[in-house]
């Protein structure tokens, strides 16, 4: 990570958010909401700080939050987790992924993901010494070819790492895909690590956790986070759910990564997880309207727009506008149109980056007037 000239590699999100600031452009690059989440959740954190909840919490997470996580899984998906032995609180989904991969993957083990993939996956598999094997998701639907998936999972596969709903494409995976993943994991003795941080950000069909597919529960490590659901991406409260022996192994790593995290934010996320169903429905319907608004704006501007069924993101093709290279397009976009977006190639391995060519990821988790203004600006590109 430290280059020969002493500079350090930076993530595409940091680079593009910095560009948005220096050019005063609308930031549809990094996925974070520009409005606060539910008042009850924010108030609970302020109250906790005022009430002295400011020292190290237990490493595994406070009991109130672990119970709220288990209750939420049971309420929405009928899944049973023992809050004392099968739930671990982490510093966001990012630490959950890091601790899980470092605990499970030995040098030389293969980890299979779809491609494009969330950038941290490639980096964390590398840090764990694993070998990253990818299965392509192709526009416009970004669904995997199940034969290709089957051919990519072998006895060398230690982990199949799934992200559903999917960042950066907005794809959601149907039950046939989830069942195939579980069958392959069983056949080859692999673990399934599933990143479901966008579980409540789905626009067409309800969420099916892969842990609920028959045969999955013993070998599945499920990961989620409060950041997206409660619009608190800066709080970094995530969690892992798995069988007790897996949680013990992951906790053994987590204790030396962050030890503990976010004392006053933990009771607040517990409050959020217990909010009425109407809250979770409103999160999805509000975001769906924003997806529709930005997708229509992009279409009017001349992009080919692909379906987004979940997450904060929609992928669009800039080629019809006369921009064959998305990296160049995204570098120029703040200057030409006052908008920042991310080239999809940022989510590919070096070997496959050219598959993304003219594809661009836009985030729509922004205020309606911001999305309208961005759409207007993009319409001026032609
Ligand atoms: N996984 C995916 C797919 C994401 O999009 C994000 C968002 N940054 C994360 C993990 C990280 O989540 P957290 O902020 O909770 O660490
Ligand atoms: N998940 C968000 C995205 O994909 C933020 C990622 C980050 O800043 N590391 O844009």
CA 329 to chain CA centroid, Å, is 24
113 φ/ψ angles, rounded to the nearest 5 degrees: -130, 165
Whether the CB of 363 sits within 6 Å of ligand 1: no
Q: Which residues of 95-130 are buried (b: 16+ CB within 10 A; e: fewer)?
A: bbbbbbbbbbbeeebbbbbbbbbbbbbbbbbeebeb
For ligand 2, atom 5: residue with the closest CA? 31
DSSP helix/strand/coil, 240: strand
- What does the block give as tokens for 63? 């009991």
Task: Report yes or no: 248 and 60 within 8 Å, Cβ to Cβ.
Answer: no
Domains 12-30+278-379 and 39-273 in one fold? no
pLDDT in tens, the chain (382 residues): 445 444 456 788 888 888 899 999 999 999 999 999 999 999 999 999 999 999 999 999 999 999 999 999 999 999 999 999 999 999 999 999 999 999 999 999 999 999 999 999 999 999 999 999 999 999 999 999 999 999 999 999 999 999 999 999 999 999 999 999 999 999 999 999 999 999 999 999 999 999 999 999 999 999 999 999 999 999 999 999 999 999 999 999 999 999 999 999 999 999 999 999 999 999 999 999 999 999 999 999 999 999 999 999 999 999 999 999 999 999 999 999 999 999 999 999 999 999 999 999 999 999 999 999 999 999 999 8
Burial 252-272 (b: 16+ CB within 10 A, else e): ebbeeebebbbbbbbbbbbbb
> Interface pTM (ipTM) of the complex?
0.97
Residue spans per domain, the chain:
12-30+278-379, 39-273
Task: Provide the whole-model pTM.
Answer: 0.96
Beta carbon of 311 within 6 Å of any ligand 2 atom: no
* Probe target for ligand 1 pocket from 197, 223, 237, 240, with the most ligand atoms within 8 Å of CB: 197
Q: What angle do CA 140, 145, 148 make, to 5 degrees?
A: 140
Q: What is the best residue among 118, 207, 262 to mutate for testing ligand 1's pocket, by most ligand atoms within 8 Å of CB?
A: 118
Q: Mind listing the pLDDT tens digit for each residue in 297-354? A: 999 999 999 999 999 999 999 999 999 999 999 999 999 999 999 999 999 999 999 9
225: Cβ below 6 Å to ligand 1? yes
Among 3.20.20.70, 3.40.640.10, 3.90.1210.10, 3.90.1150.10, what is the CATH number of 12-30+278-379? 3.90.1150.10
Percent helix, percent strand, percent coil in the chain, to nearest 5: 45, 15, 35
10 Cβ closer than 6 Å to some ligand 2 atom? no
30 close to ligand 2 (CB < 6 Angstrom): yes
Q: Give the pLDDT confidence of 47-83 residue by residue, as tens digits.
A: 999 999 999 999 999 999 999 999 999 999 999 999 9
As a CATH number, domain 39-273 is 3.40.640.10
Distance separating alpha carbons of residues 363 and 339, to the nearest angstrom: 11
- Can you tell me whether residue 4 is helix, strand or coil? coil
Whether residue 165 has its Cβ less than 6 Å from ligand 2: no
Using CA atoms in the order 268, 270, 276, 279, what is the torsion angle rounded to 10 degrees?
50
Question: Which is the closest atom of ligand 2 to the Cα of 14?
Answer: 8
CA of 282 to the centre of ligand 2 (A): 23
């Amino acid at each position: 990570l430290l280059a020969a000239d002493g500079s350090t590699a930076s993530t595409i999100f940091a680079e593009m958010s910095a560009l948005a600031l220096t050019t005063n452009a609308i930031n549809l690059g990094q996925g974070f909401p520009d409005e606060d989440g539910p008042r009850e959740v924010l108030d609970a954190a302020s109250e906790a700080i005022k009430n002295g909840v400011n020292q190290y919490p237990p490493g595994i997470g406070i009991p109130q939050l672990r119970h709220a996580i288990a209750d939420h899984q049971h309420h929405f998906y009928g899944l049973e987790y023992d809050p004392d032995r099968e739930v671990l609180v982490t510093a966001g989904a990012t630490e959950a992924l890091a601790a899980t991969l470092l605990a499970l993957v030995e040098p030389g083990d293969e980890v299979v993901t779809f491609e494009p993939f969330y950038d941290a996956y490639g980096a964390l598999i590398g840090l764990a010494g694993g070998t990253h094997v990818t299965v392509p998701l192709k526009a416009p639907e970004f669904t995997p070819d199940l034969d290709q998936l089957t051919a990519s999972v072998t006895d060398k596969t230690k982990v199949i790492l799934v992200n559903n709903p999917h960042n950066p494409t907005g794809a959601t995976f149907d039950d046939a895909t989830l069942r195939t993943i579980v069958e392959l994991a069983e056949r080859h003795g692999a673990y399934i690590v599933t990143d479901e941080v966008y579980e409540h950000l789905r626009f067409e069909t309800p969420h099916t956790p892969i842990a609920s597919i028959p045969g999955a529960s013993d070998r599945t490590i499920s990961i989620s986070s409060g950041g997206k659901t409660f619009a608190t991406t800066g709080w970094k409260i995530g969690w892992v759910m798995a069988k007790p022996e897996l949680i013990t192994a992951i906790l053994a790593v987590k204790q030396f990564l962050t030890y503990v995290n976010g004392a006053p934010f933990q009771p607040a996320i517990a409050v959020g997880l217990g909010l009425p169903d109407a809250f979770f429905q409103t999160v999805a319907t509000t975001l769906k309207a924003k997806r529709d608004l930005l997708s229509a704006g992009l279409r009017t501007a001349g992009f080919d727009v692909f379906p987004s069924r979940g997450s904060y993101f929609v992928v669009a093709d800039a080629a019809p506008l006369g921009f064959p290279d998305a990296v160049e397009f995204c570098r120029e976009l703040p200057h030409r149109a006052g908008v920042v977006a991310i080239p999809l190639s940022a989510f590919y391995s070096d070997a496959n980056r050219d598959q993304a060519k003219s594809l661009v990821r836009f985030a729509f988790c922004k205020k309606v007037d911001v999305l309208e203004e961005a759409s207007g600006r993009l319409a001026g590109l032609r």
